[in-house]
């Protein structure tokens, strides 16, 4: 186009009647002298006129179509809202399931981890306690049977247990105090965590023969309870000659609180032990001795609330004979047995009536879940 560019906007606005008077006068003056711009103006006016005729009528029923679409959209929105609610509900359910699954996952791995820790501890124990194999015969078989769970605990038994627990926490016992048949009042005070004591007992059986727990308690190498849990035929060692020849001592050397007091109070130790404790039971009364036998490791894990983890350190001929009543496969050594809580008093009564002195330590007075019985 050869029209003047500087007047093209004015020409366009002039066609639309969107031009000021001053602009109109300026444009008219230019058009009077510019043929190209006049031709361009005429051309745009022609296009402007014809373009306006391009407007087409809307097809009939368009407004009804629009209204129908609005109604349909509202219905769809309602359906969408309902489906969205359903979707939300389903999503919430899925989230809950996933969350629950996550909780389960977080639980089961813990169990699996505990089991794996038991394996590790077992290996450590086996490695750390080579003497156990030497002390326990390899022919030792598991004695635990479910039938060993028996008589419910009596009131007297409960009282005795409570007294024992309270005394344990209150009193301190001399370092080495030989007493006759054990009295609960003389039971050692807040004592070393069972795992330490048992560890010491296991690690230093010779010292146990000296009937001082303090020596053993000084030995604070942590020994996971699981070590003893996994005792089985393989870990059990044949008894030594001196063990079988050792006379059955009828006295018990109570370990001192002073010695044991140096031991750290590990509140977690009982729990850990308790988790690893396996079930066993002793029947009530002396007559039950023949009927039931305390379980000797290995024992299956049971809920900790039902059993005590009872570490027994057996030394001397008499102790062996005592436990021979429970089982003919008891030999000198350290054992972890599980005693049913309901039959704890019966078991202790059985020990008391056996005539052997023994050392007993209740791990936790509030929720006693393990015992330490040392029969020197």
The contact set with another protein (CB under 8 A) reads 1, 8-9, 11-13, 16, 18, 39-40, 42-44, 46-48, 50-59, 62-67, 69-70, 73
Q: Which is nearer to another protein, 69 or 242 (CB)?
A: 69
d(C-alpha 192, C-alpha 219), whole Å: 11
| Residue pair 348/358 in contact by the 8 Å Cβ criterion | no
d(C-alpha 118, C-alpha 111), whole Å: 10
Q: What is the rounded end-to-end Cα distance, in angstroms, of the chain? A: 122
Q: Which is nearer to another protein, 11 or 320 (CB)?
A: 11
> Whole-number minimum distance, CB 12 to another protein, in Å?
4
> Whole-number minimum distance, CB 29 to another protein, in Å?
19
Distance from the Cα of residue 264 to its chain's centroid? 24
> Whole-number minimum distance, CB 53 to another protein, in Å?
6
Q: Which is nearer to another protein, 44 or 374 (CB)?
A: 44
d(C-alpha 107, C-alpha 16), whole Å: 80
> Whole-number minimum distance, CB 9 to another protein, in Å?
4
Q: Which is nearer to another protein, 45 or 147 (CB)?
A: 45
CB 98: neighbour CB atoms within 10 A?
11
| Residue pair 166/147 in contact by the 8 Å Cβ criterion | no
- Tokens 């089991």 found at: 115
Q: Which is nearer to another protein, 12 or 321 (CB)?
A: 12
> Whole-number minimum distance, CB 111 to another protein, in Å?
56
- C-alpha distances in Å from residue 94, one per residue of 57, 88, 99, 318: 54, 10, 8, 64
> Whole-number minimum distance, CB 43 to another protein, in Å?
4
Cα-only R_g, the chain: 46
> Whole-number minimum distance, CB 64 to another protein, in Å?
8
Angle, CA 228 vertex, CA 237 and CA 157 arms, to 5°: 115
> Whole-number minimum distance, CB 28 to another protein, in Å?
18
CA dihedral sign of residues 251, 239, 200, 362: negative
User: What region, left, alpha or beta, does residue 61 occupy, with left being phi > 0 and alpha being psi -120 to 50 degrees?
Assistant: left
Q: Which is nearer to another protein, 5 or 290 (CB)?
A: 5
Q: Which is nearer to another protein, 15 or 150 (CB)?
A: 15
Q: Which residue, among 304, 299, 314, has the nearest Cα to 230 in the 3D structure?
A: 299
Q: Which is nearer to another protein, 76 or 94 (CB)?
A: 76
């Amino acid at each position: 186009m050869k029209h003047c560019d500087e007047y093209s906007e004015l020409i366009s606005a002039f066609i639309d009647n969107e031009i000021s008077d001053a602009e109109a006068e300026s444009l008219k003056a230019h058009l009077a002298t510019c043929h190209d711009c006049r031709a361009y103006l005429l051309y745009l006016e022609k296009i402007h006129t014809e373009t306006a005729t391009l407007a087409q009528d809307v097809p009939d029923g368009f407004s009804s179509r629009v209204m129908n679409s609005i109604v349909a959209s509202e219905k769809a929105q309602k359906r969408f809202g309902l489906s969205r609610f359903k979707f939300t509900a389903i999503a919430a359910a899925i989230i809950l399931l996933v969350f629950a699954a996550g909780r389960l996952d977080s639980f089961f791995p813990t169990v699996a981890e505990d089991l794996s820790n038991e394996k590790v501890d077992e290996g450590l124990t086996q490695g750390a306690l080579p003497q156990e194999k030497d002390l326990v015969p390899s022919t030792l078989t598991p004695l635990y049977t479910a039938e060993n769970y028996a008589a419910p605990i009596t009131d007297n038994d409960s009282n005795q247990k409570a007294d024992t627990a309270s005394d344990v926490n209150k009193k301190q016992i001399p370092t080495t105090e030989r007493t006759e048949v054990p009295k609960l009042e003389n039971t050692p005070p807040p004592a070393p965590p069972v795992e330490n004591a048992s560890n010491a007992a296991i690690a230093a059986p010779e010292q146990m023969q000296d009937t001082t727990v303090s020596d053993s308690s000084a030995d604070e190498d942590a020994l996971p309870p699981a070590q003893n849990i996994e005792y089985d035929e393989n870990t059990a060692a044949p008894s030594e000659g001196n063990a079988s020849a050792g006379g059955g001592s009828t006295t018990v050397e109570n370990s001192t609180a002073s010695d044991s007091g140096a031991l750290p109070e590990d509140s977690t130790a009982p729990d850990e032990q308790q988790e690893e404790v396996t079930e066993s039971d002793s029947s009530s009364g002396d007559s039950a001795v023949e009927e039931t036998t305390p379980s000797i490791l290995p024992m299956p894990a049971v809920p900790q609330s039902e059993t005590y983890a009872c570490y027994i350190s057996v030394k001397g001929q008499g102790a062996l004979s005592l436990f021979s009543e429970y089982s003919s496969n008891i030999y000198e050594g350290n054992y972890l047995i599980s005693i049913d809580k309901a039959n704890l008093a019966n078991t202790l009564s059985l020990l008391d009536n056996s005539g052997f002195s023994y050392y007993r330590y209740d791990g936790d007075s509030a929720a006693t879940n393990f015992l330490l019985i040392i029969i020197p």
